Amino acid sequence: MDKEVKLETRIIKNDPSNLFCWKWIRPPTGRTLSELNRLCDLLNGFSYENGETDKWAWNLHPSETFYTSVLTKLLDEKILPNANMSFETARLHLLPQKIGILIWRVMQERIPVRVELDKRGVDMDSVRCPVCDDDIETAEHTFLHCEFAKDIWSRIFRWWGSNRHMYSCLGDMFKGDIGGSKSKLWQSIEWVCGYHIWRNRNLTLFQRKRGNGPMALNEVQIKSFEWISKRVRKCSFEWSQWLINPSSYDDQV
């Protein structure tokens, strides 16, 4: 719950020392207290002719009251004016929230691939892909052009029963479009596949444990079955059927 930060002060009437009587939700400390003392020094000796109660006014909100939630929104609008927010940030109800967070970061190009780290001044030995070493590591390369990614996507398409083998660009991925139609089940499998591509990248980079296509396909099949079957109540998933023809459950999720 957002807490209102209330700043109010008044001058005690007819007080020759012109003392302030402050009302704080939290007493100021550290740098805030130092700035407050400097402000008091600046106002020392200042007289109010009308004798009315004085208060702080925050001009960025109609109520003239400071709210942290309003300030956060203003900062986001100022700092991130060109952010691509067209991709839905809501998670798929068929998968854990952590999967949706990762995929959103991928589509916004906010994952720590080596090119992005290099832009931010992180000192690295190389910006090449740690999995295939064929090109520099960007988000598009990691999830689309890396040999491991191309292999797993090809296997996933075949498992679904599609004659497609690859995506043309990063923007085509993770949206659930298959054969010209939208499928929540296929989108869930796409997201799980993206999760395992990123997981394989991290295992390769940090633990020197590189996976392979058959192993990755098996992991996607197991985890997608585990997550989706537990969240769909209106039908019963059979493991054997899931391995043979996952698209047969498309109309039941």
Residue 51 lies in a domain: yes
Domain that holds residue 53: 7-79
Write down the pLDDT at residue 1.
Answer: 37
Write down the pLDDT at residue 242.
Answer: 96
Residue 237 lies in a domain: yes
Write down the pLDDT at residue 135.
Answer: 95
Q: Are residues 209 and 242 in the same domain?
A: yes
**Spatial separation of the C-alpha atoms in residues 200 and 147, rounded to whole Å:** 12
- Closest Cα to residue 185, out of 246, 236, 125, 129? 246
Choosing from 79, 107, 138, the residue where a domain stops is 79
Q: What is the mean pLDDT of each run of 10 residues along the chain (253 residues)?
A: 43 47 79 84 72 73 84 74 48 87 88 92 90 94 95 95 87 86 93 96 91 92 95 89 94 85
pTM over 0.85: no
Q: Are residues 127 and 219 in the same domain?
A: yes
**Spatial separation of the C-alpha atoms in residues 74 and 68, rounded to whole Å:** 10
Write down the pLDDT at residue 128.
Answer: 95
- With H, G, I as helix, E, B as strand and everything else as coil, classify residue 253: coil
Choosing from 79, 112, 142, the residue where a domain stops is 79
